[in-house]
Structure formats: structure tokens, C-alpha cells
Structure 1
Amino acid sequence: MKFSNKAKALVVAGFIAVASATPAHAVDLQGSGASFVDPLLQACKAGFAKATNHSYVYTSTGSGTGKKNADSSIGQFWFSDSAHTATTKRSTVFHAPIIAAPIAVLVNLPAKKDIYLSPETVAKIFAGEITKWNDPAIMADNNRSVTTVVYKKDAQGNAVKDKSGNPVVLRSGTKGIIYTLPNQPIKVVFRADGSGTTNNFTTWLNGVAPSVWTKKGNDAFTTAFPGNINASGNIGRIVGANQSQGIATLAAKTKYSITYAEKNWGDAYGLRAAYVGNATGNFTYPDSGAVSAFLGEANQDANGIVTYNYGTKVAGAYTLGIISYMLVETEYKDKAQGAAVQQLAEHILSPACSAVDPKLGYVVVSGTFLEKAKAQIAKMNK
């Protein structure tokens, strides 16, 4: 069968139309690292593919592995919840702080009641100094008057700020709480793998209760632990598991346990998030408004590394809010891959991703923090 010149022209035109409708150079990316960000990254895959025609696979391996993979150039992007400052970091790798969320103190208690824990109490529990749920310190935290603050929120769930940059209080109040806690041993579950969540959590413990948690934060809980974790009273009572899902699973199976992880893992496994005290003496819940109020007090240096103000006097700040870093390259050998990673970073930072499912509990980065994050992303793929 022979085609006329006109038919041939129509076929060619059809191929051109199909090619122009599909973005050229679609790229498949590979990433790895922090389990903290995994639920959000999985939820954002479809939106990213629709917007760019690119795809990615993210392997939740923990921040420690993410850093190691960045060192060895395994994949194109990596996530870590703690800054990568080791000498093994390649000079072309830098930090883009683009995902924000709270670390929740999660408990498995039979009563479906809110629990309140001061920073000192949390530190003593995880340090092995408080070993029973009906310890006088926990009883004191939960049988008293407490003040809570609720901020006015914007469409993304962040705290709305006034002209002076202060969060706008929607309402505040004081109430009496009564909670008779069980006479049961506390089972502590910690991250056994190298974890940026652990680094942030133990850094917070050292920052808010330095006389109790006397060591600096570390990716390894056993290294940051201020006493002898192998003491007879700790063996079998303080136990580890890998990754956020692992510790949430173990805590859910272990009555009278306590752990730390992203709040969405607690929601998924039936664990209750505690109200945690801050420097004002108020108790705050790990929601987006309280976290954004806290992160508004954080500083970001020229390298994108964030430092937190645990002593903030913002009344409703939840001081266990953290930023997760996307570790990326200034110089990608494959420029098409580099451009796709940059698009991915921009997508993750946008509300299209960060607000894709409010139930996941992530915070939309905003304000001056957003502008600084964008400036970091602009350094990519030069």
C-alpha cells in the first residue's frame, strides 16, 4: 500500500502533535533516606508525575543511610532530618530544608484520655529515671490546671501572624485535668537505626532539660543516652526498632509503651500523642498551627542548616517541630536529571505537595523560611 504525500504529511504531523503533548526528557529519579518524610513523598508521586511527566522512587531507609547514599552518589536525591556535617559529605552536596512536621511523643495507654508531659518529665522517662506511669512527676503533670493556646490558621493550617510577626491567638483557656495513671512499668521504644528523628529528639531533650539529658543530640539513641542503657533496670524495658514504622508497630503491640515519631504514625497505629510543655509553662499539641508558630522562631544559615529556639516564649509553640533536609547537588553531571530533581524540590515545597493530605500532619513552609528554602533550591544543577 502506498501513501500519498498528503497522507504522509498528516502522519508526520500526528507524531509531532503527540511528541509536543508529552514533555520531553521524562526522567525517573531515585531517592532514599529519612523515614520521617516517606508518607508525604509517597502521597505526592501522582501530582508530581502529572505536573512534570517525571517519576521517582523513594526508599525509606533512615537519615543515616540517606547521608551515606549521598556520600556515595547512590541515586539523585536524599533526605535527612539532621544536618549532614560529617567530613564524608561531598562538597557539591548541600541542604534544602523543605519538609516540616512535628515529632510526637506517643503513648500506648488503655485509657482514651489526653496526657500532658512537661519537658523534664519526658527527659526523665527516656533517660530511664522515671520507670512507672504513676510516678509522682507524671501524676503532677496530669492532675493540675493547664493553659492551652489555639492560633488562628490560614488555608494551609499555619498560624496566621500579625504585622509584628506574632501568631494571632484565636482563643486560649485554662482547665483542670485529672488522670489517675496505672501502676505499670513504662516500656520505652527508641529508634535503633541511624535516625535524624532521633537526632532532633535527643537534641530537644538536651535543649529543654540539660540537667537530665546531659548529652548532645545524636543520630544514634544509644550514643545520646545520658546513662548506662545496659543497666539491669533498662534491659528489656528500653528497646529499639528500625525506622518510624518499626517503632510505631512495636509500640502499638506493647501496652504501657512510649515512643517518638511523626504524629501520622501514631494516628495509623492507634497511639496517642501527648500535649508537651514549653518554656511558657503551657502545654501544646503537635498540630500544624503550633508547629508553624515554633518554626517561625527558627534560624536558617547560609548553608540551609536550621537552629531552633527551644526557649521561645511564643505561648502556643510546639517545640518538637522539625525540618527535614533534602540533600541535593549543586552540580549534576546529567543536567536533565538535575533539572528534574529541582522540579521535585519545588513541587515538595509547594502546597500542592505539602498540603496534599492534611491528615498526614505536615506543615506548609511559609514566610521568610519559605523564601530561604527557595534560595537554597535555586543553587541546584548549576
Structure 2
Amino acid sequence: MHFGRHRFALGFLAVGVLALTSCGTDRNVTTADLNTELRQLEVDCGDASVVAEGSSAQKNAMDVFARDFGVKCEGRQLNYTASGSGKGISAFTAGQVDFAGSDEALNSAEAAKARKRCEGNPAWNIPMVFGPLAITYNLPGVDDLNLSPETIAKIYQGEITRWNDPAIQRLNQGADLPGTEIVPFYRSDESGTSANFQEYLSIATHGMWNGSGKTFRPGSGVGQGRAGTDGVTSSVEQTEGGIAYAAWAFPKNAGLGIAAIDSGNGPVELTSRSAGKAIDGAEIAGTGHDLRLNLESIYGNDSPGVYPLVLATYEVVCSAGYDKQTAKSVTAALRIAAHAGQENLEQAGYVPLPPKFREKVLDAVEAIRT
């Protein structure tokens, strides 16, 4: 059966065009520009372009995947609309797109709708994109800052209000912290980023933080809400004493301060290596090829050298039920995504899949029935 899908021939052609240009330049990309793995990778592209929708957190990674897909599968496009996780799941369960990007795995109600959309077959959650969340701050003269999960939670609960608070000072021995007022910013819109940040705070503080879900709920009267990652990042940039949680790429590109996190075994700076260790330690909570993650194994990982605040974005796909050509194209797009180059992904603010974890992802992708 062919599902009715929005092809958005004009409206979302921009992402398809992005697939044919290199990140940050206007020159055409050729096979020679791909990493060695992708050049040698053999894929059955199918005859269809691929349409997907969902999480804005993975938008920049999807631009990289779309570019590589357009090169490996000439004449096909991967068109991705960054509309948010909820809208992506709705579009997927309605049969309007081939797969959804979501910052959270399907819940039971969504899984039931997805099974119907997939012709009676289960949908799988495949964690393809990992983007660290940075705790970004604006504190002139303070180039290195250490925070713990508890101090972050207390800032957003209104219990710590000055940067020279003794709890922060203890984590930054010898640092000259100013008495500047802390101005917390948070996402005012419903956000998978907020849901994951709150899940992290709850797990890492052993329940000190009791908020949950896509709507962020700070302490009464604490902080200022802003729409989108751009909104919170630009607000920190413009506000001395500001702090926010945001996808790594945004404060990194803006040159803002990024705090190291001390989970009890020393402060850990946010790098691809330290975030990659969190991914390597991730446990699978799903069964078979449904790779739903046990978030406690990531957010509660206090091992030395691990940066645990890493958001996983799933590609939600049908295990079977696509028409044959669409199944081939979806499989090809996800295989190419799993082999995407480290340099381009890191520049875009993401952590490439560690080799052992990538094997699990590729096993699931190869199991999609065509």
C-alpha cells in the first residue's frame, strides 16, 4: 500500500537543495567530498525521495544527512521539516511522512497509532542523532565555570540567586566569582529539549527536581521564558549573569561560556569525547530492534570523564509496511546517516555515533523489511 505523503515539492525544496551544497559554502558537493566510509558504502537507493518531519534539535544534523544522501543517491532528496517532535509524530502516524524525528521515544498511545499507520507492524525508535545540551552562561571575566546537577537545579528553583553563592564557589576553588545576580532563561514553548533537561535534573539530583515534560516549570517567579533555542541563547548573550540550557551548537557558535558539569567525580568539560562516553554507556530499554533508551543510564552516569547531559533524537520508522521503493529509500537514507562524517557533525554541534553503538543502529536499519 502507498501511503499518501506530503511531497512539498516547492515549500521544502530548500532542504533538498541543501543536500547538494556543502555546509557553510556554496560550492557543489561531489562524492570526493564524502568521508571514506561513505565513498565506499554501497546502498540500494530505491526510486523515491524521502520526506521526514519533527525535532528541531536534529535539524543541522539532518542538513548533513540530506547533503550526503543527495550525493550518494543522485536525483533523490531527503526533505526534512523541523516542526518539533510532536508535530513530527503526528505527521508520521497520519502517514504524511516517511519517518519522524523525536526527542522522546513513542509513548503507548503513539505506538498504537504508529502500528496502524505501519499496516499492523510496530514502529521502531532508532536513536540516530545525539546532541549534547550545554549549560551556557554570560559572566565576563569567568572563562571556566564548574556546576553540579544540584546547583543547576537550585538556580532554576530560585534557591541560588548570585554567582558567588557558596555552593558555586565550592565547585570553583580559587575562582573570583562576582556577586552578579543570576538570570536564568528557559524555553517558553513546548520543547523536547526542556523535557530531556528536566529528566536529566530529576535523575542526576535523585529527585531534587520534580518537574517533567515538554513544558518547563521553574520555581515560582524564577527566570524568564524565551521561545526556541535561538531565543534563550541570544538572551544569555545579551544579559550579564544570564544562564540557559541549549543545544551545544548555539552557544558554541556564539562564543558563549559553557560550564563543565561535576557529577561527583570531578568537573567534565563538554567535548565530543566526553559526550561520546555517555552514549557508549547507554542501555537499551526497548526490545529487539526498537532501540528506546534507558535515560537513567545516560543522565545518571557519574563516571569520571563522562558528560551526561546528552539529548538523543530518535528516527521513528516503520519496521515494515512501506511500499517497496519507499522502504529502500528510507533504509538508504538512514544507513547514510549512520555513516555521516565526524567533522561535519561536530561542527554542527552533534556527537558522531561511537562504533559499538552504531552497530546496533545499523542492525535495526538493515532489519526494516523491504
Structure 1 position 99 matched with structure 2 position 99:
no
Aligned runs of 1:209-248 on 2, under 5 Å?
209-215=205-211, 217-222=212-217, 225=218, 229=219, 231=220, 233-234=221-222, 238-248=223-233
Query: Pairwise mapping of residues 1-382 of structure 1 onto structure 2 (< 5 A)?
Result: 26-53=47-74, 54-89=76-111, 90-91=114-115, 92=118, 93-142=123-172, 144=173, 177-181=174-178, 183-215=179-211, 217-222=212-217, 225=218, 229=219, 231=220, 233-234=221-222, 238-280=223-265, 282-300=266-284, 301-302=286-287, 303-307=290-294, 308-309=296-297, 310-352=299-341, 354-382=342-370
More strand by share: 1
3-state SS, counterpart of residue 275 of structure 2: helix
TM-score, structure 1 length as denominator?
Answer: 0.75
Identity %: 25
**What letter matches 2:275 in structure 1?**
V
Q: Output the TM-score relative to the length of structure 2.
A: 0.77
Q: Counterparts of 1:73 and 1:130 in 2: how far apart (Å)?
A: 47
Please state how far the C-alpha of 1:113 moved relative to its aligned partner. 0.9
Extract unaligned runs of 5+ from structure 1: 1-22, 145-176
CA contact (8 A) 1:190 1:260 kept: yes
* Per-residue deviation, residues 76-99 of structure 1 (Å, max 9, x unmatched): 221112212141331233201111
Considering only aligned residues, what root-mean-square deviation do their CA atoms show, in Å?
2.3
Which secondary structure state, in structure 1, belongs to the residue aligned with residue 62 of structure 2?
helix
Q: Is the 8 A contact 1:95 1:376 kept in 2?
A: no
Over 3 Å counting, the alpha-carbon distance change for 1:245 and 1:347 in structure 2 is farther
Whether the 8 Å CA contact 1:342–1:381 is kept in 2: the answer is no
Whichever residue aligns with residue 109 of structure 1, its letter is L
1:201-252 CA distance string (max 9 Å, x none)? 111100111352034x322213xx5xxx4x3x33xxx222333233223332
- Counterparts in 2 of 1:325 and 1:25: CA distance versus 1, 3 Å: closer
For residue 91 of structure 2, give the secondary structure of its aligned residue in structure 1: helix
Cα separation, partners in 2 of 1:376 and 1:248, compared to 1, 3 Å: same
Structure number, greater radius of gyration: 1
CA distance in 1, matches of 2:143, 2:267: 15
Instruction: Report the equivalent of 1:148.
Output: none
Provide the secondary structure at the position in 1 that maps to 2:320: coil
- Check 1:379–1:243 CA distance in 2 against 1; reply closer, same or farther (3 A cut): farther
Distance 2:241 2:81 in 1: 31
Change (3 A) 1:345 1:243: farther
Contact 2:46 2:329 in 1 (8 A): no
Quote the residue 1:169 is aligned against.
Answer: none
- What is the deviation of 1:347? 1.1
Residue-by-residue CA offset, 1:285-336 (whole Å, 9 max, x unaligned): 1111111112222101322111142443531011112321111122344332
1:55 deviates by 0.9
1:373 deviates by 1.2
Q: CA deviation at 1:191?
A: 2.0
